[in-house]
Amino acid sequence: MNIQYVGPNLHLAPHKALSDGQLTVVVVHEHEREPLSEYLTACLTGHNSPAPFKQYQGRHLQLQGQEFGIHLDDQQLPYHCLAEADNSCTVTVNVNPQALEFLGSAAG
């Protein structure tokens, strides 16, 4: 994530600063399905508090593990596309600060 909120006002990264040049990864483990469900239900009923899940921030992030799923935007990447021969998986993400420029015309 590069923003505090995602989707319908889900406050997943409450301490995220848009201009810090860092990416925030919010990790929800398999055993946290029930807390995730409770959090989403609370958000749908108007109780929008920050999510209670582990977060990592940095410009260079690497995730390692066995058989984990990844969502990129709204698409889930198939595990077989990520797995190594030993069934492990490593995903590296690098952030390029100021890689996006917005151009506009001068007010006339």
- How do the pLDDT tens digits run along the chain, 108 residues long? 556 556 656 666 666 666 777 777 778 888 999 998 898 888 778 777 777 888 888 888 887 877 666 777 777 777 666 677 777 888 888 887 666 666 777 665
pTM more than 0.75: no
Q: Enter the DSSP assignment of 73.
A: T
Round to whole Å and give the CA distance between 62 and 58: 10
